[in-house]
Amino acid sequence: MSEAAANPIDRAEETDDGNRPGQKLALYYFSAAMVLFAAQILFGLIIGLQYLYPDLLYNVLDFSVARMVHINAMIVWLLMGFIGCIYWLVEDEAGRDLVGAKLAFVNFWILTGAVAVVVAVYLFVQIGPGELRSIWLINEGREYIEAPRWADIGIVVCVLIFFYNVAATFTKGRWSGISGVLVLDLIALAALYLAGMYFTPNISVDQHWWWWVVHLWVEATWEVLVGCIMAWGLIRTLGANRRIVTTWLYIEVAMMFGSGILGLGHHYFWIGTPEYWLTIGGFFSALEPIPLVAMVVHAVYDAGRHGFKSSNHPALAWLIAHAFGNFFGAGVWGFMHTLPQINLYTHGTQWTASHGHLAFFGAYATIVIAIIYLAIQKARGDVWMSGALPGNGFAWKWSLALLNIGVLGMTVALLISGYEQSFVERALEGSTWSAYFEAQQTPWFVQGMQWRMVFGWITAAGLALLLWDLATIGRRETRPVQVLNPVPA
Amino acid sequence: MPEAMSLQDMFVGTLAGAAIVVMGAFYALFYALAKMHRHRVAHATALASYAGLVVATYFLVDALKLHGIWLWVAAVMVAGYFLAPRAIWQLCVGTHEESAT
Amino acid sequence: MSQPWWSSEAMWRKCAIWVTAVMVVVLMGLTFDTVRQITAGGERVPGYDVINKKIFYEYDADRGYQVPRIGEDAPLFGQTLTAADAEALVEKGKLTTQAKNCMNCHTLLGNGSYFAPDLTKSWLDPAWINEGLREELMLNFLQDPMNNARTFGTGRRMPDLNITDEEARAVVAFLKWMSSIDTNGFPRGFTPLKQED
């Protein structure tokens, strides 16, 4: 049962050659995730253009439809990326091949097929009559969780199968602290989705539970999931000491859930919920960046003791991008507008869009991309991915730079537009429809939208380069992976 | 309760919010560097960053006209930013204890 | 083990479990109270038959901002509905806003997308000129937005969403009911339609 605690896992014999069934399946999930990432950016470009040219695709592919695909593609590609990461690590962590591999492959194709059908219906049916069957068959009309009810149920079934694969593999193999946290977190993640699966005419009640899914995913369970993936990654790629990493995973869980669960309060300021949420939300929001800031200390400590050595430079670079993106996107951009005194002006403006872009990219997109680089290195035969790559590694370096500059630029541009919007619409003009439209036409707002578009194209260029790099990196490499001196713990 | 805010206060308020988190991170960074390398300049920079955080909090309180329970929230926040990096440092040392010997 | 107790793996495992458990319990307690307060007919969210009444905005000196108030009879489309009929109508309206994907252009209670104006207080918006014209203008807008949309010179028109007369009336009922929700002063400084007393 728990020889895991005695930790012979870490220096496990290298059966881990990228050819295990779970690892093969992970590559399928990563490929699907990248296709959806491309869809996210494509539809993002369309809606960005619609701000500047409102007649573009009017009554053909309206903003509402393209925006729904933009945000749904993001949610699903990140989830598929996470699932891929977990299939990638489960065999290594459990010390045996995936249990129920055949079922897992079938599950992948069902899930992918369902996603394709949902997107096709979004694009070609778009809307339905005001009847229950519309939200069962077409779309549910609730931001981020628009998927129609049939797909909701399908997603739950697919997630249960995934859960079975993972839990059974650990049970037949071995458990560890990391896998324990991972499995409990997956249960919470799946259970929370159920909170988003019912209809009520009461919009306050609707949004109250809707935030359980959206907030408790993004600001609690997803964070812990990433923590588990990181923990495994640190042990596997840097040879970090398992006991220390597991302890820190527990510390992170305590901090994330300690501040994140009641941090839910900062979404309950203005939706009809009681006034005490202003204080609770304000308090926990004020504390939320502190763990993030404190982690800086840990990074310095580790760097000082071990140095940043890595046999996979692109992955390490994306992990560093993750640290900065998470800090600025979630920490700085989050706290700037989270206190109710300010949020009263900024809630429901481009401020939220600004924060959303940097936070999702910085906290989640970066980490999935980093793990994909690790997986590809293995899958291409454990090849060299350190310095001195062909062409000096220009593709991964430029795609990293373009994607980060693009997203950061969009974030700043949207912040300027958002600031102008909250200024004119809320503070000056009285929050009416005419105030809204007046704000949309101010020069600062319009220029912000134009710059957002410029940086949107830069992001798209970065993505194209990233996909090309992922498809080609290491294919012609003959050097084996760089052997690092074992790191003292 | 949130009260009406002037335009200038809104600008100061958001900027002060951003400055608090950034200064908090600088403080943590230089505090850790000072501990790691026993560096005087880093230590002074850490303290200066923390002073910046306190000043930014003052501007935030002033711009948002915080009063009553909100002043306590601000106080807990300022204390938290001071203590958390120190606590994390102790934890780093503590968790690495066994293997360091 | 030379490790201090406060940095041991076992201590932090317990700590993670306890912190999470305590937070979940606190959240549960708050959730029960919140759901009670936001149930339609509760303290902060009026019952659906509020659509039979006049809804207006009034400055509340204690709270420091405007709050919705419920006044004399002012039945929607001139028809007083029973509580059950009112609920059915608002339900149809809410369902229509979901089926037409309103939230991916508009915000409702400030949540959604930012391509079109917030709908929280749209029932009280001065765009409807006065209370006498409001219902008809809203119905026209919803059913034929290409010709009746108010874009205030931006060119950002609502698309044609095939909204029927029945659906449009239901959406108006939903919007009227939503404007009566106590949103703690959001949206900030809202200037309502001129009220005829």
* Of C33, C99, C185, Cβ closest to residue A127: C99
Residues 282-341 on A with a CB inside 8 Å of C are: none
Query: Is residue C189 within 8 angstroms of chain B, CB to CB?
Result: yes
The whole-number pLDDT of residue A489 equals 43
The whole-number pLDDT of residue B71 equals 94
Same domain, C96 and C156: yes
Q: Enumerate the residues of chain A whose CB falls inside 8 A of the CB of residue C151.
A: 437
Q: Is residue C151 part of a domain?
A: yes
Q: Which helix (H) or strand (E) holds A164?
A: helix A149-172
Q: Enumerate the residues of chain C whose CB falls inside 8 A of the CB of residue B98.
A: 1-3
Query: Is residue C82 within 8 angstroms of chain A, CB to CB?
Result: no
Q: Is the pLDDT of residue C197 over 70?
A: no
What are the boundaries of each domain within chain A? 7-175
Q: Enumerate the residues of chain B whose CB falls inside 8 A of the CB of residue A340.
A: 2
**Which residues make beta-bridge pairs with B78?**
none
Residue whose pair of structure tokens reads 């959730």 in the numeric block: C31
The whole-number pLDDT of residue B4 equals 59
Residue of C nearest to B90 (CA): C7
The whole-number pLDDT of residue A136 equals 96
Of residues A377, A388, A369, the one with CA closest to residue A475? A377
Q: Cβ–Cβ contacts within 10 Å for residue B41, how many?
A: 10
Which CATH number do you get for residue C118? 1.10.760
Q: Which three-class secondary structure string do you get for A298-367?
A: HHHHHHHHHCCCCCEHHHHHHHHHHHHHHHHHHHHHHHHCCCHHHHHHHCCCHHHHHHHHHHHHHHHHHH
Q: Is the pLDDT of residue A438 over 90?
A: yes
Closest approach of A422 to chain C, Cα-based (Å): 10
Instruction: State the Cα–Cα distance between residues A227 and A224, nearest whole angstrom.
Output: 5
Closest approach of B64 to chain C, Cα-based (Å): 15
Query: Is residue C98 within 8 angstroms of chain A, CB to CB?
Result: yes
Same domain, C16 and C88: no
pLDDT in tens, A210-222: 999 999 998 899 9
Residue of B nearest to A424 (CA): B7
Same domain, C79 and C173: yes
Same domain, C79 and C169: yes
For chain A, the chains sharing at least 3 beta-carbon pairs closer than 8 angstroms are B, C
Q: Provide the number of structural domains found in chain B.
A: 1
Same domain, C91 and C152: yes
Q: Is residue B101 part of a domain?
A: no
Same domain, C82 and C164: yes
Query: Is residue B79 within 8 angstroms of chain A, CB to CB?
Result: no
C188: confidence class by pLDDT, cuts 50, 70, 90: confident
If you average pLDDT over residues C99-104, what whole number do you get? 97
Q: What percent of chain B has pLDDT over 70?
A: 91
The whole-number pLDDT of residue A485 equals 60
Q: Enumerate the residues of chain A whose CB falls inside 8 A of the CB of residue B10.
A: 342, 345, 422-423, 427
Q: Is residue A152 classed as helix, strand or coil in its secondary structure?
A: helix
What is the DSSP secondary structure assignment for residue C197, as one 8-state letter?
A: -
| C64/B1 CB distance under 8 A | yes
The whole-number pLDDT of residue C42 equals 85
| ipTM of the complex as predicted | 0.96
| C3/B94 CB distance under 8 A | yes
Query: Is residue C155 within 8 angstroms of chain B, CB to CB?
Result: no
Q: Which fold has domain A7-175?
A: Cytochrome C Oxidase; Chain A (1.20.210)
Residues 6+ apart with CB under 8 A from A289: A330, A331, A332, A334, A335, B21, B24
| B94/C1 CB distance under 8 A | no
Among A422-426, B37-41, C44-48, which range has the highest average pLDDT? C44-48
The whole-number pLDDT of residue A234 equals 84
The whole-number pLDDT of residue A463 equals 98
Instruction: State the Cα–Cα distance between residues C182 and C176, nearest whole angstrom.
Output: 13
| DSSP assignment of A21-34 | HHHHHHHHHHHHHH
| C184/A278 CB distance under 8 A | yes
Task: Please give the residue range of the domain that contains residue C56.
Answer: 48-178
Query: Is residue A445 within 8 angstroms of chain C, CB to CB?
Result: no
Residue of A nearest to C184 (CA): A270
Instruction: Give the distance from CA A293 to its chain's centroid.
Output: 20
B–C: how many Cβ contacts below 8 A?
Answer: 29
Same domain, C84 and C103: yes
| C157/A58 CB distance under 8 A | yes
Residues 6+ apart with CB under 8 A from A88: A22, A23, A26, A371, A374, A375
The whole-number pLDDT of residue B1 equals 45
| B18/A332 CB distance under 8 A | yes
* Of A279, A297, A335, Cβ closest to residue B92: A297
Q: Is the pLDDT of residue A328 over 70?
A: yes
Q: Which helix (H) or strand (E) holds A193?
A: helix A177-194
Q: Is residue C186 part of a domain?
A: no
A354: confidence class by pLDDT, cuts 50, 70, 90: very high
If you average pLDDT over residues B20-42, what whole number do you get? 93
Instruction: Please calculate the CA angle C132-C137-C139 and round it to the nearest 5 degrees.
Output: 115
Residue of B nearest to A292 (CA): B25
The whole-number pLDDT of residue A486 equals 55
Q: Enumerate the residues of chain C whose CB falls inside 8 A of the CB of residue A276.
A: 30
* Residue among C19, C44, C96, C98 with most chain A CBs within 10 A, to mutate: C98
The whole-number pLDDT of residue B8 equals 81
Q: Cβ–Cβ contacts within 10 Å for residue B38, how many?
A: 9
Query: Is residue A187 within 8 angstroms of chain C, CB to CB?
Result: no
The whole-number pLDDT of residue C151 equals 81
* Of C37, C104, C160, Cβ closest to residue A68: C104
**Which residues make beta-bridge pairs with C58?**
C67
pLDDT in tens, A448-457: 999 999 999 9
A–B: how many Cβ contacts below 8 A?
Answer: 120
For chain C, the chains sharing at least 3 beta-carbon pairs closer than 8 angstroms are A, B
Q: Provide the number of structural domains found in chain C.
A: 2
If you average pLDDT over residues A34-53, what whole number do you get? 98
| DSSP assignment of A110-148 | HHHHHHHHHHHHHHHT----SSHHHHHHT----TT--S-
Q: Is the pLDDT of residue A24 over 80?
A: yes
| DSSP assignment of A406-456 | HHHHHHHHHHHHHHHHIIIIIIIT-SSHHHHHHHHTSHHHHHHHHHHHHHH
CB burial readout C70-88, b (16+ within 10 A) else e: eeeebebeeeebeeeebbb
Q: Is residue A485 classed as helix, strand or coil in its secondary structure?
A: coil
Is the omega angle on the peptide bond into residue A148 within 30 degrees of 0, that is, cis?
no
pLDDT in tens, A265-308: 999 999 999 999 999 999 999 888 888 887 888 888 888 877 76
What Å distances lie between residue C14 and A67, A247, B84, B91, C3, CA to CA?
43, 11, 20, 16, 17
Q: Is residue A57 classed as helix, strand or coil in its secondary structure?
A: coil
Same domain, C149 and C171: yes
Residue A334: exposure state from Cβ atoms within 10 A (0-12, 13-18, ≥19):
buried
Q: Is residue B90 part of a domain?
A: yes
Task: Please give the residue range of the domain that contains residue B53.
Answer: 7-96
Q: Enumerate the residues of chain C whose CB falls inside 8 A of the CB of residue B90.
A: 7
Residues 55-74 on C with a CB inside 8 Å of A are: none
Structure tokens at C112: 């959604």
Query: Is residue B94 within 8 angstroms of chain C, CB to CB?
Result: yes
Same domain, C57 and C120: yes
Instruction: State the Cα–Cα distance between residues B68 and B74, nearest whole angstrom.
Output: 11
| DSSP assignment of B25-59 | HHHHHHHHHHHHHT-HHHHHHHHHHHHHHHHHHHH
Closest approach of C38 to chain A, Cα-based (Å): 6
Q: Is residue C188 part of a domain?
A: no
